[in-house]
A and B are shown apart, each in its own frame.
Chain A
């Protein structure tokens, strides 16, 4: 009984926290650019605003596709978010769910005939092919090094990255993948706001867009918490300290992997991005996999 109440409370609160993190990220971006920036509740305000707006959709919208896309997108962000914060669930399942979120974006975009959304979908798909493989590599290497396939089993007495130094390989992979998976500037090619008007989301508005934006923030927080959980947070901490530590480390991670990257680089072209993700992270992944496989003999 108690556990259900926890889940309900978390299910209601964590999306808010995710929106808050999005706001914090926007504020930090603004400060990096030397401006004042919006209040940190801005993303939440945008969400509230979008809920109050009327929806206008093109007449030939494929509603089935739109709804399934939105549901998939939401599920691909919401369930991982709950899983990583509750430290319950299977890593492989988490991986599939997060890839499913990307699929949701593609489905949403394909529900419309707009060329912008088609271009966005095609770019998003190319990006997904390029970076999801690194993401999968990162999780596989993590499982191989730590030997735990579920989130709750990954408990170490000290910081995982120090206990298993080989985890540095998937950690670096995650840092490469995070901006692409969240969709921020150097590699937000699918949803380029200024170029193809948010790509797959170009035609949706109102509450549908609210769900899409919420999913994006939740995906960011879930990914950050996953990195925190797998590599940075000693699993021994529990209770209040667990929450405080994870939120603080998440914030720092958001700053370094999203805000700094976003402001230090300008958007690259799709072929550059695909070339990059198909070489550097993939090479690191394959070499890492080989190293880990060979090192297993020595009891690492």
Chain B
């Protein structure tokens, strides 16, 4: 790391907030080790915060269930710009094994633009760490106003089965 980035790069400080949108807790169990001595995300300036107003990155786990949808959208709307939304785990990415269930309001990207996906069920902590490091670049682009949110082109049948 250069001296400049050690002193003035706002991307070196990332505060992470986590939303459980109906996950089975497997992904939470893999996110938590990030902040333990073993994986220690704090060496990259990644810190876990307890409120969406302090967050730069939001990790969303779980398929968005019908019950959770309202709260998830409310919380996501409270995150100040610039922010990055990361869907963690197969459930968060596409619905995973729960895809097509009547209790789901679709995966998160049906409802809110998602910047990064971490695949796996559950993903390894290293995968989530990689996504957070990747989020630095997206945050940088968003600060400069360069980032274009690509709308997700999905064929509806491939997205949520049975709709």
Chain A: residues with CB nearer than 8 A to chain B?
A: 26, 30, 33-39, 41-42, 44-46, 48-49, 51-56, 116, 193-198, 202-206, 209
- Taking a contact as CB atoms under 8 Å apart, the answer to whether B10 and A45 are in contact is yes
Would A193 and B10 count as touching, CB distance under 8 A? no
Set A30, A42, A203, A205: member contacting B13, Cβ < 8 A: A42
A205 touches B7 (CB 8 A): no
Q: Which of these, B12, B43, B50, contacts A37 with CB under 8 Å?
A: B43
B137 contacts the other chain (Cβ, under 8 Å)? no
> A99–B53 Cα gap in the complex (Å)?
27
A205 to B8, CA, bound (A): 19
Contact with A along B38-52 (1 / 0, CB 8 A): 001011110101110
Binding site for A on B (CB under 8 A): 1, 6-13, 15, 36-37, 40, 42-45, 47, 49-51, 53-54, 56, 78-82, 143
Please give, as numbers and ranges, the residues of chain B lying within 8 Å of A38 by CB-CB distance: 42-45
Complex Cα distance, B2 from A39, in Å, reads 12
Contact between A49 and B13 (Cβ–Cβ < 8 Å)? Answer: yes
Which residue of chain B has its CB nearest to the CB of A36? B43
Q: When A and B form their complex, which 6 residue pairs have the shortest distance between CB atoms, in order from nearest? A: A197-B50, A49-B10, A35-B40, A49-B13, A205-B53, A197-B51
Are A41 and B81 interface neighbours, CB within 8 A?
A: no
Given contacts A41-B7, A45-B9, A49-B56, 7 further A-B contacts (CB under 8 A): A26-B42, A30-B42, A37-B43, A46-B15, A48-B13, A49-B12, A56-B79
Inter-chain CA distance A202–B36, complex, in Å, is 24
- A294 CA / B105 CA spacing, docked (Å): 75
A197 to chain B: closest residue by CB: B50
The residue on B at minimum CB distance from A213 is B54
CB-CB < 8 A to B53: which residues of A?
A: 56, 202-205, 209
B8: chain A residues at CB < 8 Å are 48
Question: In the complex, are the beta carbons of B80 and A206 less than 8 A apart?
Answer: yes
Contact: B13 with A46, CB < 8 Å? yes
With a cutoff of 8 Å between Cβ atoms, the chain B residues found around residue A34 in the complex are 37
Determine which of A48, A53, A194 lies in contact with B81 in the assembled complex, contact meaning CB atoms within 8 Å: A53
| A99, chain B: closest CB distance, angstroms | 27
A residues near B143, Cβ cutoff 8 Å: 52
Q: How far is the CA of A53 from the CA of B143 in the complex (A)?
A: 9
Which among A42, A52, A195 is the interface contact of B45 at CB below 8 angstroms? Answer: A42
* Cα distance A49–B10 in the bound complex, in angstroms: 4
* Docked complex Cα distance between A53 and B7 (Å): 17
Q: For the complex formed, measure the closest distance between the CB of B141 and the CB atoms of chain A, giving whole angstroms.
A: 14
Closest residue to A209 on the B side, CB-wise?
A: B54
How many Å from the CB of A61 to the closest CB on chain B? 12
Task: State whether B51 touches A37 (Cβ < 8 A).
Answer: no
Residue in contact with B1 in the complex, picked from A26, A39, A44, A202, CB distance below 8 Å = A39
A selection of 14 A-B contacts at a CB cut-off of 8 Å is: A30-B40, A35-B43, A38-B42, A45-B6, A45-B7, A46-B13, A48-B8, A49-B11, A49-B13, A53-B56, A53-B82, A56-B53, A116-B51, A205-B53
Look across to chain A and name the residue whose beta carbon is closest to the beta carbon of B46.
A38
Give CA–CA (A35, B50) in the complex, Å: 22
Q: How far apart are the CA atoms of A194 and B54 in the complex, in Å? A: 13
Indicate if the CB atoms of A205 and B54 lie closer than 8 Å: yes
A36 to B37, CA, bound (A): 8
The reply to whether B10 and A35 contact each other, CB–CB distance below 8 Å, is: no
Closest to A44 in B: B7
